[in-house]
Structure 1
Amino acid sequence: MTIRAKKRTTSSAVRRLSVLLGAVGLAAPLTLAIGGTAQAAPACTTKAGPHQKDVEKFLGLPVDGRQAPADCRAIQDFQIKRGIRPNIGYAGPVTWGVMREELTARNPNAAGRCPVNVGRVACVDLTRQISWVQDGKSLKFGPVPVRTGRDGHETRTGAKKVYWRSIDHWSTLYDVRMPYAQFFDGGQAFHSIEGSVRSQPGSHGCVNMRPGDAKAYWSLLRNGDDVFVYGRKPGT
């Protein structure tokens, strides 16, 4: 190839590269604009939801049950941060459900069903299928999900105490391991299980826990500590 031919080839390549870069430069803002439009929050609804007062109270807004622009913006902000869709500021059951879960995490004993004036106590709410450890007003651990007794093998309710602990217990009755077992009522105990605590129909009366949660309970509780079981497991 001659020097002149090489120059023409180089010039042609430069022009093609310039055209390509120019196209990219024009396309980039368009792509960003499209992305920005897709991510923009939708307009707020003016309609009050069925849980308007509950949501207003949760967010610290004036509780009047009416949807004001400030209410909608606050609800919409909550929905966007939690990934709730649609995020139009409507106080519906999904939004209130997420808020209720957060309220439970903040204060699982908000209804005062578990007596916490006895010192350290492990509370078990059969209705919500959760448990936590509390000392007076101080929440020590949880709430965490649990699996309690199935129909016909219900976890017994009432005030109890931890009376025997066995870190690597083996159940001769059911021929299964019961790690971090802490017995509080006959053969009923806190202990970890393999698999999901969400699986049904439930245990044979024990309070089944995830391994990490059962291990935490083992470190928090001692013989003589109080346990209080209340409520009713759905389906029993």
Structure 2
Amino acid sequence: MKHRDIRKGAVAVGITALVLPLTVVLGGAAPAQAASCSMSTGPYQKQVEKFLGRPVDGKQSAADCKATRAFQSKHGITPTIGYAGSVTWGVMSLMNQQKAAGKTPNKAGKCPTNKGRIACVDLTRQLSWIQDGKKLVYGPVPIRSGRKGYATRTGLKKVYWRDLHHVSSLYNVAMPYSQFFDGGQAFHSVNLSMWNPPGSHGCVNMTSTTAKKYWSLLKKGDEVYVYGRKPGT
């Protein structure tokens, strides 16, 4: 996908992927779901119950459904019917992996430690952090990368353009704190849960707090290393 900077007329690709209803595309909340609460037992019932701190019996209850629906609503998982399906458990499983990373996200040494300050992006765990050599500078923080067909490209890159108030003319969507590092793919903030499926159109989405921090810590020419593969792509 391509987007143009309204003020500069520059062409860039990799705008935020928002494949939800238009209100979400424009940064609003997803419309309320009219569907009733599912009383069917999902294939990941026990895992979902354990994650939510519910009694783990593998049987759907009204309370289980209510707790699952609240989780789905918070993170933009549709349909919001409280069913313990693969998408809901996939998000929860990813959260568990991110929690396990703790303060040693580069324990496996996959992000280079000989480049000085570098922003690391682990697509598999949907995590990013900034390190300087082996020292962790900031993070790790959850991110939202490209969905299937619009993957965030892997490899060693550099921040080549920063635009604090970037706007995509394709969707007329603001992309605050944009830091472009590969053919239009950029770090930038979005008004969405970082676990909102299925993902972006290639950009690395961040919360406003994270995007602001990355803006303060990175500069043009700083390196970015992207590796791994987003689940489901």
TM-score by length of 1: 0.57
1:136 maps onto 2:123 in alignment? no
**What residue identity is the alignment partner of 2:172?**
D
Q: Which runs of 5 or more structure 1 residues have no equivalent in the other structure?
A: 1-83, 87-96
Q: Which residue of 1 aligns with 2:116?
A: 119
Q: With a CA cutoff of 8 Å and minimum separation of 6, indicate the structure with the bigger relative contact order.
A: 2
1:235 maps onto 2:232 in alignment? yes
Partner Cα distance (1:98, 1:179) in 2: 25
Q: How much identity, in percent, do the aligned residues show? A: 64
Partner Cα distance (1:230, 1:101) in 2: 15
Partner Cα distance (2:114, 2:144) in 1: 26
Q: Which residue of 2 aligns with 1:108?
A: 105
Alpha-carbon distance, 1:199 to partner = 0.5
Q: Secondary structure at the match of 1:179?
A: strand
Partner Cα distance (1:98, 1:178) in 2: 25
Distance 1:208 1:98, change over 3 A: closer
Q: Which residue of 1 aligns with 2:182?
A: 185
1:208 maps onto 2:205 in alignment? yes
Q: Secondary structure at the match of 1:203?
A: coil
Q: Which residue of 2 aligns with 1:163?
A: 160
Q: Which residue of 1 aligns with 2:194?
A: 197
Partner Cα distance (2:120, 2:171) in 1: 26
Q: Which residue of 2 aligns with 1:67?
A: none
Q: Deviations over 1:190-212 (max 9, x none)?
A: 00001211101100000000000
Q: Secondary structure at the match of 2:110?
A: coil
**What residue identity is the alignment partner of 2:195?**
R
Q: Which residue of 1 aligns with 2:9?
A: none
**What residue identity is the alignment partner of 2:157?**
K
Contact 1:197 1:210 (C-alpha < 8 Å) held by counterparts? yes
Partner Cα distance (2:117, 2:194) in 1: 24
Q: Which residue of 2 aligns with 1:92?
A: none
Distance 1:204 1:102, change over 3 A: closer
Q: CA RMSD in A?
A: 2.2
Aligned residues: 144
Contact 2:159 2:219 (C-alpha < 8 Å) held by counterparts? yes
Contact 1:116 1:137 (C-alpha < 8 Å) held by counterparts? yes
Distance 1:172 1:157, change over 3 A: same
Among 134, 152, 159, the residue aligned to 2:149:
152
Alpha-carbon distance, 1:98 to partner = 9.5
Contact 1:122 1:132 (C-alpha < 8 Å) held by counterparts? yes
Alpha-carbon distance, 1:173 to partner = 3.1
Q: Which runs of 5 or more structure 2 residues have no equivalent in the other structure?
A: 1-52, 56-93
Q: Which residue of 1 aligns with 2:76?
A: none
Q: Secondary structure at the match of 1:106?
A: coil
Contact 1:105 1:142 (C-alpha < 8 Å) held by counterparts? no
Contact 2:98 2:125 (C-alpha < 8 Å) held by counterparts? no
